Structure 1
Amino acid sequence: MSVLLDIDGLKVVFESRHGDVTAARNVCLSIASGEILGVVGESGAGKSTIGNAAMGLLERPGKVAGGTVTLEGERIDGLPPEAMRRLRGAKISMIFQDPLTSLDPLRTIAEQLVTTMTTHLPLSEREARKRAVALMHEVGIPDPEARIDDYPHQFSGGMRQRVVIALALCAEPNVIIADEPTTALDVSIQAQILDLLRKLVRTKGAGMIIITHDMGVIAEIADRVAVMYRGEVVEAGPTRKILGDPDHDYTKSLISAVPRPDVKLDRFPLVEHIESAGSRRSLDLKTHWLGQKRDYGALDGPLLSVRDLEMTFRVGSMFGGGRRSVNAVDGVSFDIAAGETFGLVGESGSGKSTIARLVTGIYQPTGGAIVFAGTDLAGITRRRELNRHRRQMQMIFQDPYSSVNPRKKVGAIVAEPILFHKLAGSRAEVNRIVADLLDHVGLGAKVAGKYPHEFSGGQRQRISIARALATRPRFLICDEPTSALDVSIQAQVLNLLKDLQAELGLTMLFISHDLPVIRQMCDRVAVMRRGRIEEIAPTEDLFERPQNEYTRHLLKLMPKMTGAAA
């Protein structure tokens, strides 16, 4: 097999007024024709930096300070920008992690795919469009003939990621660098995408580097694995050897933190080499602010009852006709008891996040009832009364980067709901509560004066949790709260949520496409498909004895850590 991409002794440095920061040092990786190399490690390990350096996409002040990058025998790390632009897409392509920032929001999907293909391939616009439709079908986008003329905002997060994958593959590059390509995808589409990538590599003789924190994906697709820690490759070798019999202590700890799909544990194991966000103190609810004014009175029945819920969206152009109705939620009913963690799983676009937005009042349903603590929220017309109920429910969003205001300091972000709902008498009291909340989620009071960009993804998610707790809620909606986090930070955040639930008696609606995480977190689970619920069952019953054929299909597709150490 011929070597397609060779990275030899690469060093990447970010210059700053406080001195240079070395993001990667002495990194040696190579990819042969028909081979898939997995690169794993925690946030900040240097994984994405290596991919960006190979593509010539390092952002200032980052620079390649040593080593070489060779593509098909030609050194490319020193090429001028115009020469690199001709290579990108045609010979080397990248699947980016964030589909929102890698797609142009002002151009249709057809425009973006067709332009890329006609630039790099000898195709007419008509031929390129036909190939674009076929690619969209291959990556699992339903009704591609109609959806190809939609804009990125008209797709769910998972479907946008599929479009990004189609965009990276459309010009048939020889080398593909996939940076967390399946993070936003459910297990069925993930399996489809991995099969597509594997087939492309095997049949076309391409080579691929797949950067991911999902060890199940690595077990499923990679031929070899390189483990990165603090900018260096600490261990590399065949996938079965690395997952089943690792040599480095960091690798062993990393594998142990992967959520178990086969058995439920009380807590998630932590990666010993990774520093936690900070220690937490147990609290006395009789004296602590979070425990005050939590007597909501007797509850006769479930805390949340959803009955025949419906949500219809109108999509397509409003000018040239072609607008159509999409039933995002179609007759959904379920109950959540006080103190329970209720899971929602299903494919991207199945309606999970839409339900979260309906329950919190972000969307208004087109039909059905949402009864919270005995009150039908749809029947409330006075804003003050509606806010009183909304104060009791808070949401933790999927993306810790876009869900906090980058222009505000952390203290102001956490204080906002306290001020809005007038939960404190003075500014000094607000500041004291904010400091205590930040301390309680393991960040410490001193971070109140910093901005969100100064924190990692896991720390930002802790900020989001502190903000959610600021109204003393009884109900938390967690919409994919850890899908953007690596396994060690995920373990910390999920353990924190478990602790908070035990301390405060919280009820949670937990939405995720990660089935092992659902098994560890939830008491009962509902499986959604195309806006409907296929099955509801206690978690262990659902995983051990699924009744619905679609549920069995999802569980069968769940990546398994083949060869991993027990």
Structure 2
Amino acid sequence: MSDTLLDIEGLSVHFPTRRKLFVAVNKANLAVEPGEIHGLVGESGAGKSTIGAAVMGLLDRPGHIAEGTVRFKGEAISGRDAEGMRALRGAKISMIFQDPLTSLNPLLTVGQQLEETIQFHLKLSDADSKARAIELLDRVGIPNPSERINQYPHQFSGGMRQRVVIALALCSEPDVIIADEPTTALDVSIQAQILDLIKELARERQTGVILITHDMGVIADTTDKVTVMYQGEVVESGSTEQVLGAPQHEYTKSLIAAVPRPTLKVHRFPQLSYGGRQITFEIEDLARNWKRPEPTKSGTLLKVEGLTKTFLQSGSIIPSRRKYFTAVDQVSFDIREGEVFGIVGESGSGKSTVARMIATLYQTNGGKIFFDDREVTSLKTAKDLESYRRQIQMIFQDPFSSLNPRMRVDEIIAEPVRHHKLLEGDAIQHRVDELLERVGLGSEAGRKYPHEFSGGQRQRISIARALATQPRFLICDEPTSALDVSIQAQILNILKDLQEHLGLTMLFISHDLPVVRQMCDRVGVMRQGQMVEVDDTETLFANPQQAYTQELLSLMPRLEGLSTEGLEGEIV
């Protein structure tokens, strides 16, 4: 019997459609040894997640394995029936899915879901199952696990939900874990904790891991081997040191060049140059028709003083018995006109809550917000609020959930223009077409629906919609966290151009510290709802004053082993 835990040979996955046969994976080979972490990288649509779904027997119909073999401990499993796969799935091979919200049952508490899985696979008693569930939640970094085990998925932040999904995958102590973007929604501190846990499992229990990710920092710091995929085919495979440090294939070289570096600041990110057309953002044409308002007298466009937000944690008809959670606690900072101000911090630190209060999506429970020297929190009339909201637009973390699936793209982009009565008739369609052209999609994209686009294309639609009202202030809430590095480079270049040519002021929220260093002029660090440090970007990264900031920066991937071929920039 082979010592290899998982052996994938000549795997091809086909999806028949009415028009043509779509080959998602074409004759891919991949092997995972006991205790080995094998990275699987490539841009969106490369076939990475399809391989994971094929191994687990979770391919969506009419998708099927057309040829090739998947072996687990030497035994072919690719031909097993549904019952045979159920016996293997979870018990021997577990999967951590990318989207935690769709992986968790909204009607059951986190504890109920964990305990059910533990009892099914390990046959423990109710008391032992609950104790193990609490232990697992603690292990993946959930604070107060004995209390939070009784809460529902919607009561957790995105990063915390991802930790719960990881705990679910670990319940059965599997031999193989397929981790599909397990750290996408996590900040660097929790990411380091999760990756240490995965490495510990591989080392101590000899668990084999397939780590599917677009984060080259994760690949560099965690994996033993790497397989690179492009359009369903494996283009390069080898040791992590060799593939990242001295890539042989042109696509691999291009992919690595697009990775933001923590110690090299570039004016523009290199874009993917292998196999596809370059995405161009025609900012100069857009800038010619952009209406610029008079600059603010004080030089500060946005000022926040003592901002506070509380949420009801547990309700009661008796007010004294209600428990509240303080998500944002006395936060103060200012953003100068024309600058990019970054906010970093752990998941649940209050970053997005601050952004939503500034955008008036959440009401404040205390503090003041000033925009262009005018207090926003005192605005009462609908007309005054509309005037403010027109000047502020937001790009959300998940572009798909922020776009109406029942509306065409041109209707989505035109909606804010019509709402604010900025243009009429053919002028609206002209602006929509112009914006779609400028973000590299083309005016013909307006006749399609959001589901017909990739994640990166949907984010460009979100940017076009945000620019439709010609705003002064842009809030970017994790705009690239769900994107692979090549698409991320395109989006970041667009944002850089907007700031440089249109003079836009931005609030940039991200847990990706190398990206923050590339994009931001100043950075604020948040922890547990409080702003603990604010400084110029280079000063903060080179000489952080607070212990928490020092700890956060120490966990940032160094990416020292990555090839620098094709990169030009300023060493910082």
If the TM-score is normalised by the length of the shorter chain, which range does it land in?
over 0.9
Matches within 5 A, 1:163-562: 163-273=164-274, 275-276=276-277, 278-283=279-284, 288=289, 291-292=290-291, 294-296=292-294, 298-316=296-314, 318=316, 323-426=322-425, 428-562=426-560
Any idea what SS the aligned residue of 1:388 has?
Answer: helix
Q: Report the AA paired with residue 411 of structure 2.
A: A
Give the deviation of 1:317 after TM superposition: 5.5
Partner AA of 1:564 in structure 2:
L
Contact preservation (8 Å) 1:393, 1:473: yes
Alignment-derived partner of residue 115 in structure 1: 116
**Cα shift at 1:319:** 7.9
8 Å CA contact retained: 2:287, 2:501: no
Asked if 1 retains the 8 angstrom alpha-carbon contact of 2:271 and 2:278, the reply is: no
Per-residue Cα deviation, 1:350-386 (whole angstroms, up to 9, x for no partner): 0000000010011111110011112211111111110
TM-superposed deviation, 1:54: 0.4
Q: Report how far residue 279 of structure 1 moved.
A: 3.1
Secondary structure of residue in 2 paired with 1:303? strand
C-alpha distance after superposition, 1:77-129 (max 9, x if no partner): 12111221222111100000111111111111011100111111120121111
Supply the distance in 1 between the matched residues of 2:287 and 2:487 (Cα, whole angstroms): 31
For the structure 1 residues 297 and 558, does the alpha-carbon distance in structure 2 shift closer, same or farther, using more than 3 Å as the test? Answer: closer
Deviation at 1:157, TM superposition (A): 0.5
How far is the alpha carbon of 1:256 from its aligned partner? 1.1
Deviations 1:510-529, CA, capped at 9 Å, x for gaps: 00000000000000000111
Q: Aligned pair in 2 of structure 1 residues 301, 411: CA closer, same or farther (>3 Å)?
A: same
Which letter maps to 2:495?
L
1:439 counterpart letter in structure 2: E
Q: Which segments of 5 or more consecutive residues in structure 1 lack a partner in the other structure?
A: none
Gaps of 5+ in 2: 565-572
**2:569 paired residue number:** none
* Length-normalised TM-score, structure 2: 0.96
Please tell me the residue identity of whatever aligns with 1:397: F
Displacement of 1:2 in angstroms is: 2.1
CA distance in 1, matches of 2:281, 2:518: 22
Which residue identity lines up with residue 267 of structure 2 in the other structure?
D
The answer to whether the 8 Å contact 1:55/1:92 transfers is yes
Shift of 1:348: 0.3
SS of residue in 1 equivalent to 2:293: coil
Cα distance, 1:202–1:318 mapped onto 2, change above 3 Å: farther
- 1:226 is displaced (CA, Å) by 0.6
Q: CA deviation at 1:15?
A: 0.6
- Where 1:158 maps in the other structure, the secondary structure is helix
Write the distance in 2 (CA, Å) between the matches of 1:72 and 1:93. 15
- 1:31: how far off? 0.9
> Residues of 1 paired with 2:277 and 2:404: CA distance?
24
Letter in 2 for 1:217: V
Deviations 1:197-234 (A, max 9, x none): 11011111211100001111011111111111111111
**Alpha-carbon distance in structure 1 between the residues aligned to 2:287 and 2:483:** 34
- Give me the identity figure in percent: 59
The farther-off stretch of 159-168 and 314-323 is: 314-323
Q: What's the C-alpha RMSD, in Å, of the aligned pairs?
A: 1.6
Moved more, 474-483 or 226-235: 226-235
Relative to structure 1, is the Cα distance of residues 7 and 542 closer, same or farther in structure 2, using a 3 angstrom cutoff? Answer: same
Q: Report the Cα offset of residue 276 of structure 1.
A: 4.9
Code of the residue aligned with 2:6 in structure 1: it is L
Q: Quick one: which amino acid aligns to residue 453 of structure 1? A: H
Distance 2:76 2:122 in 1: 23
* Rounded Cα–Cα distance in structure 1 between residues aligned with 2:296 and 2:122: 68
Q: What amino acid does structure 1 have at the position aligned with 2:17?
A: S
Aligned length: 562
Counterpart CA distance in 1 for 2:192 and 2:101 is 22
Q: Distance in 1 between matches of 2:28 and 2:257?
A: 25
Of 518-527 and 64-73, more deviation after overlay is shown by 64-73
- Per-residue deviation, residues 481-502 of structure 1 (Å, max 9, x unmatched): 0000000000000001111122
Q: 1:261 to 1:2 in 2, by over 3 A?
A: same
**Paired letter, 2:410:** G
| Change beyond 3 A, Cα 1:233–1:286 | closer
TM-fit CA distance, 1:74: 2.3
Q: For residue 49 of structure 1, what is the amino acid of its counterpart?
A: T
CA distance in 2, matches of 1:92, 1:471: 49
CA–CA distance in structure 1, aligned partners of residues 244 and 333 of structure 2 = 40
Q: Deviations over 1:459-490 (max 9, x none)?
A: 10000000001111000000000000000000
Cα distance, 1:247–1:278 mapped onto 2, change above 3 Å: closer
Q: Secondary structure at the match of 2:120?
A: helix
Corresponding residue SS for 2:300: coil
Residue pair 1:243, 1:561 contacting (<8 A) in 2 also: no
Counterparts of 1:250 and 1:286, CA distance in 2: 33
What whole-Å deviation, never above 9, does each CA across 1:322-356 have from its counterpart, x for those lacking one? 85221111110000011010000000000000000
Shift of 1:297: 5.7
Once the 2 structures are TM-superposed, how far is the Cα of residue 299 of structure 1 from its aligned partner?
2.9
| Separation in structure 1 between the aligned mates of residue 178 and residue 46 of structure 2, nearest angstrom | 17
Contact residue 108 and residue 152 of structure 1 kept, 8 A: yes
For the residues of structure 2 that align with 1:276 and 1:361, how far apart are their CA atoms? 39
Q: Supply the distance in 2 between the matched residues of 1:202 and 1:280 (Cα, whole angstroms).
A: 46
The residue aligned with 2:98 is: 97
